[in-house]
Amino acid sequence: MSLVFSLVSHGQLHLIEKFLFDYRRLSLGRYRLVLTLNIPEDEGILREFSDLPITLVRNPSPKGFGENHNAAFNAVDGSFLCVVNPDIRLRELDLDLLLQPFRDDSVAAVAPLVTDSSGQVQDSARRFPTVVRLITRALLGRRSPDYVWDDQTVEVDWVAGMFIVFRSDAFRQVNGFDTRFYMYMEDADICLRLRVVGGRTVLNPQASVIHDAQRASRRDLRHLKWHLASAFRFLFLPPR
């Protein structure tokens, strides 16, 4: 199996250091990892991980979420691309189990169950955004999952971009992420475009990762602006 991990740091190597320790502990070093530094930062942390197959990319100027991961996809060949947020932790991860849904050729994207560090399930698998759903989330703070599952895979509309594995052929077919989404909603958009060409997105709850959400758009006006612009684009402008 040929799989490439893609992580992007926005001055977050202190978080990625924890992920890399998990990566080593779980013997994932047989898989290539593309680490993109979106802004300059102290790289001293990385000396600890010289044994890992890391391709380091230093951006001369910051790029958006989708543009960075598209570049990682083009930098290293692999049958699958795994997009990972810097604040993901891996208590344990059976990749063979996670990727089992890809045995069905119609599956284009797979995501694990996502919990916070206390074990609370996050709303990472969702139905496509509508005006009503977005208002409900924003005003009522609704964060419960849109789907119900047991231990079996479930097809969903889209999965949040903190941890997604894409079939490379499917990712290439839709030309990757739409870079007009600088940040936020590009995950919903790509899952929608994959569905249009017959690609299914599934949640595989037999595998899980840990994510303590930063919710940056609640605290930072710049992130809020990106979030609102992306929501408008998804809801009212035609997909690429």
User: pLDDT (tens digit, 9 = 90+) per residue, 189-201?
Assistant: 999 999 999 999 9
pLDDT class for 124, splitting at 50, 70, 90? very high
Task: Give pLDDT, residue 154.
Answer: 96
For residue 73, the domain's CATH number is: 3.90.550.10
- Tell me if 10 sits within 8 A of 85, measured CB to CB: no
Mention every residue, 6+ apart, whose C-beta is less than 8 A from residue 239. 178, 189, 192, 193, 196
Torsion angle of the four alpha carbons 22, 26, 28, 30, in this order, in degrees rounded to the nearest 10: 130
Could you tell me if residue 179 is inside a domain? yes
Q: Tell me what pLDDT residue 159 has.
A: 97
H/E segment holding residue 163: strand 163-167
Neighbours of 23 (CB within 10 A): 22
For residue 215, pLDDT beyond 60: no
pLDDT in tens, 137-155: 766 666 667 888 888 999 9
- pLDDT average, residue stretch 37-55: 97
Quick one: pLDDT band at residue 163, thresholds 50, 70, 90? very high
| pLDDT value for 134 | 82
Residue 151 domain flag: yes
pLDDT at 132: 87
d(CA 70, CA 62): 14
pLDDT tens digits, residue range 81-101? 999 999 999 999 999 999 999
pLDDT value at residue 219: 56
Average pLDDT over residues 68-74: 97
Instruction: Judge whether 92 lies within some domain.
Output: no
Supply the range of the domain harboring residue 7: 3-86+99-236
Residues 216-227 pLDDT 10s = 545 578 888 888
46 occurs within a structural domain: yes
**Predicted pLDDT at 217:** 46
Quick check: is 160 in a domain?
A: yes
Domain count, the chain: 1
In a domain? residue 94: no
Q: Does residue 13 lie in a domain region?
A: yes
Q: What is the CA radius of gyration of the chain?
A: 17
- With beta carbons less than 8 A apart as the criterion, state whether 208 and 120 touch: no
37 is written with which tokens?
Answer: 């530094």
Whether the pLDDT of residue 64 is over 80: the answer is: yes
Residue 63 lies in a domain: yes
Residue whose pair of structure tokens reads 């599934």 in the numeric block: 202
Kindly report the pTM of this predicted structure.
0.93
Q: Give the span between the Cα atoms of 175 and 178, in whole angstroms.
A: 8
